[in-house]
Structure 1
Amino acid sequence: MIKNQSHITVFEHDRIHIDRGNNRITPSQLKALQQFYGENGVPYFDLIHNGIKFNEYVGVLMVGKTTIEILPKADKDLETKDWRKVLIGMLHAVGLFEIHTPSSTSLDLRANSILELYFELFVCELEYLLHGGLIKKYRKTSGNLNSLKGSIYFPKHINSNLIHKERFFVNYSIYDKEHIFHQILFKSLKLLQRINCNIKLQSRITTLLLDFPEMPDLKVSENTFNRLIYDRKSSKYKNSIEIARLLLLNYHPDIKVGTNDVLALIFDMNYLWERFVYSSLRKYKVAGNTVTAQNTKDFWKPTIGYNSKMKPDIVINKDKDNCIVLDTKWKNIKQSNPSPNDLRQMYVYMKYYNAKRVALVYPNSESSIKSGLFFKETDSELSSNNCSLISIGVMEDIKQWQTKIYEQINDW
């Protein structure tokens, strides 16, 4: 584990305490994380005596002014800085680091954390939007005007204008920049001004606040973002809105004390590995082959209620003679066998998808393929049904790593 003044770097499954270890959090920070954990808990970490234990999630927890960066840990052989580069590359490959502006190539990959990179992505996106011009939209409003526009709202008109006959209380539409897209972005920009600790970025945030039109405050929830409708003009806002969603919905202010707000920007490493393998196979697939993710199939129907479904991670050439089913697992099993549950799962996939081959796909320090046969159901003899274990060596160069993933699975 590595630490600097206000930045702690750990790996998934590591622990942090208030009273021991090289990296420590303060009692008030632990209390803030305990409040964030709540009665229902969060999947990112577990509470332990005088500390927390991280799970198979990676990303950033910001507690007050301290940033805790959680990096993946498929193997101890790679240094911390390399794992940061690997994580950023994987996020970019699966589309979680999309950006409009050409300056994205100059993003500082040596930033202190994934959080700072997302801050910079958001700033770059807003600079891009301002440079291209902010869009206007119609919004409904009302007021007591000296000229007639829109439609008269008679109840208010009669009450307000018994004396002032020259005025009209009307409902009308305004075509301007005050709409929900800009309200979300402005709220996110104000949040960045509060929590950002990067001095270089702070000047750009200040400039944006001077240039961006001030908006009324907006109370946001998941439903706020789900209701957004993009058209041809507003489609360029998608990237910035998605980052704003991440920041606003994962920000938990410390209401009681006000000094240890929590921002959680966390990714499930199992899901990220699955998407990364899938995107690598899709990137290089040849014509005639199909690659699908999370393909569902019914396998049990209760007398009352919904069917139970199976959902393998990746299916190649579904319903064809050369069908292959892959299940990705973000763990390093080294020389040991997979868990019986994983093997049973692969056996069921083979039967229900009529797959020619099935395999469990793992990260590792070196690449290898190990195969094994299932036993027959009726006796103790081996069948011809094969389940392979594909270990893929981690590489810092993400493009090379994606090529390697495709070639290794394709050659298998």
Structure 2
Amino acid sequence: MNKENKIIVFEHEKRVFNLNNTAEKALHDALELYHGDGTPFFKLIRNGVQFNEHVGVIQVGKTTIEVLPKADQSGEEKWRNLLIGMIKTVWGFDVKTTGSSTLKLKSNSILELYFELFISEVEYLIHRGLIKKYRKYEGNQTTLKGSLQFSKHIAQNLVHKERFYVRHTLYSTEHILHEILFKTIKLLANTNTNPALKGRIASLMLNFPEMKDCKIKAPTFDKLVFDRKNKPYEKAIEIAKLLLLNYHPDVVKGRNNVLALMFDMNKLWEQFIFVTLKKKLKTHQVSAQVSKKFWKPIEGYSSTLRPDIVIQHDESKEIIVLDTKWKNINQSNPSSEDLRQMYVYHRFYRANKVVLLYPSDKHLIRKGNYFNSAIQDELSDKECSMMQIATGDTIQTWQEEIVKNIQTYLGV
């Protein structure tokens, strides 16, 4: 561990801890306990852990473990910037919306990125004025306001003539949206290690109205409804959900609380390619996860096909199916399973071409054809290609290279 209590690893890498070191043993024990909670981000090995295809950040107490993707020989700085750029692209944080239009801090990790996004959103909400909602109140007061609940008033205030047990409606800032935001602000105050954010978090604690502590679970967010009045809260609540539902307090020792923001690189790569093509490939309609029925048992549910990306030319209506794979395949052939899958896409989507899309350290398109099913040793016109796209130095140049290579392959 370095002076900043920051550990940097790449996906699929192993990390072995020195169990004779008090700090490393505490970290090892916390990760072992967290793994027992059902985490899919790593597996336990002898005296350590091995990470998988999930990347992002795991904060244990004041120690941050940053897991970066790696599809070439570039170093941690490039991959950290690319990962943050991919997340911004996929979740729309690079567009101007409310408080997140300008970020003051150059984020050094995924965690800091989300912390600052949340802070910026809440600062914006405070600046524009926090909304109020009607809520029901029932309890003792020193003034008679609303309806007197006679039976409860007699039971509780027989010897307290100055009190009234009443029920009435209040119009205040105390409601579930603010309870979620306040709980998240307190979470940031307890977990943030970046001095650049410390003052802004303290300012939020001072300026945001104090709310009662409530239990926040996944169903809490499912019940929320956004309308014209509370629409500006949506981005802040979205980030709050991500932080609160991925926070695991250490109830045993109270020191090694775990906050994990991890992303499956296979899904992130797929979404990154889709969003990039959707925005920048102007000659085609780009769709994601287009389902088609594939097989039906006599009893039970049908099975479906769902390729990653389907693109169709606006004029010729030519269809190309793309399937993204997050791995550096080098000079190897695709797996037989992947090739069979693409063959089925050819038939069911009536595709002119199908493409397996990989990240790489160089640009390469390798075309191939399936054999004719009727005449052995004769190639059919069904084309399945492998496209490897080199990573760029910045997220913008990488997106440009992706679109340029796709356009070259499509002949546009």
TM-score of the aligned structures, taking structure 2 as reference length: 0.91
State which of 34, 37, 52 in structure 2 corresponds to 1:36. 34
Equivalent residues of 1:17, 1:24 under 8 A apart: no
**CA distance in 1 between partners of 2:90 and 2:231 (Å):** 20
Q: Report Cα offsets for 1:243-298 as digits up to 9, x if no partner.
A: 111111111111111221111100111111111110111102336x3211111111
State which of 12, 25, 28 in structure 2 corresponds to 1:27. 25
Give the C-alpha shift of residue 122 in structure 1.
Answer: 1.4
SS in 2 for 1:276: helix
Question: Which amino acid is the alignment partner of residue 90 of structure 2?
Answer: V
Q: Percent identity?
A: 52
CA distance 1:18–1:165, shift in 2 (3 Å): closer
Q: In the alignment, which residue of structure 1 is the partner of 2:293?
A: 298
Q: In the alignment, which residue of structure 2 is the partner of 1:15?
A: 14
SS in 2 for 1:361: strand
Instruction: Please say if 1:231 is aligned against 2:227.
Output: yes
**CA distance in 1 between partners of 2:318 and 2:365 (Å):** 19
Question: Unpaired runs of 5+ in structure 1?
Answer: none
Q: In the alignment, which residue of structure 2 is the partner of 1:256?
A: 252
Equivalent residues of 2:287, 2:311 under 8 A apart: yes
**CA distance in 1 between partners of 2:313 and 2:57 (Å):** 38
Give the C-alpha shift of residue 400 in structure 1.
Answer: 2.8
Instruction: Please say if 1:243 is aligned against 2:258.
Output: no
Give the C-alpha shift of residue 161 in structure 1.
Answer: 6.1
Give the C-alpha shift of residue 12 in structure 1.
Answer: 0.5
Give the C-alpha shift of residue 232 in structure 1.
Answer: 1.1
CA distance 1:297–1:236, shift in 2 (3 Å): same
Q: In the alignment, which residue of structure 2 is the partner of 1:389?
A: 386
CA distance 1:312–1:4, shift in 2 (3 Å): farther
* Mapping of residues 3-402 of structure 1, within 5 Å: 3-19=2-18, 26-38=24-36, 41-76=38-73, 78-95=74-91, 97=93, 100-101=97-98, 104-109=101-106, 111-145=107-141, 149-160=145-156, 169-286=165-282, 289-317=284-312, 321-378=317-374, 379-402=376-399
Of residues 137-146 and 212-221 in structure 1, the stretch that sits farther from structure 2 once superposed is 137-146
Question: Which amino acid is the alignment partner of residue 17 of structure 1?
Answer: V
Equivalent residues of 2:98, 2:232 under 8 A apart: no
CA distance 1:25–1:395, shift in 2 (3 Å): farther
**CA distance in 2 between partners of 1:82 and 1:228 (Å):** 38
Give the C-alpha shift of residue 33 in structure 1.
Answer: 1.1
**CA distance in 2 between partners of 1:137 and 1:102 (Å):** 22
**CA distance in 2 between partners of 1:362 and 1:405 (Å):** 11
**CA distance in 1 between partners of 2:405 and 2:123 (Å):** 42
Question: Which amino acid is the alignment partner of residue 9 of structure 2?
Answer: V
**CA distance in 2 between partners of 1:170 and 1:14 (Å):** 62
Q: Report Cα offsets for 1:210-249 as digits up to 9, x if no partner.
A: 1110000010111111111111121111111111111111
**CA distance in 2 between partners of 1:291 and 1:388 (Å):** 19
CA distance 1:295–1:208, shift in 2 (3 Å): same
Equivalent residues of 1:122, 1:243 under 8 A apart: yes
Equivalent residues of 1:145, 1:170 under 8 A apart: yes
Equivalent residues of 1:301, 1:308 under 8 A apart: yes
CA distance 1:318–1:157, shift in 2 (3 Å): farther
CA distance 1:308–1:4, shift in 2 (3 Å): farther
RMSD of equivalent CA atoms: 2.5
**CA distance in 2 between partners of 1:73 and 1:25 (Å):** 28
TM-score of the aligned structures, taking structure 1 as reference length: 0.91
Equivalent residues of 2:100, 2:117 under 8 A apart: no
Equivalent residues of 1:316, 1:325 under 8 A apart: yes
**CA distance in 2 between partners of 1:107 and 1:330 (Å):** 32
Aligned residues: 405
Question: Which amino acid is the alignment partner of residue 42 of structure 1?
Answer: T
Give the C-alpha shift of residue 93 in structure 1.
Answer: 0.8
Equivalent residues of 2:153, 2:164 under 8 A apart: yes
**CA distance in 1 between partners of 2:161 and 2:23 (Å):** 67
Equivalent residues of 2:99, 2:120 under 8 A apart: no
Q: Report Cα offsets for 1:120-166 as digits up to 9, x if no partner.
A: 11111111111111111111111345665544434324545668889
CA distance 1:338–1:187, shift in 2 (3 Å): same
SS in 1 for 2:384: strand
**CA distance in 1 between partners of 2:393 and 2:215 (Å):** 41
**CA distance in 1 between partners of 2:370 and 2:170 (Å):** 69
Give the C-alpha shift of residue 304 in structure 1.
Answer: 2.1
Give the C-alpha shift of residue 334 in structure 1.
Answer: 1.0
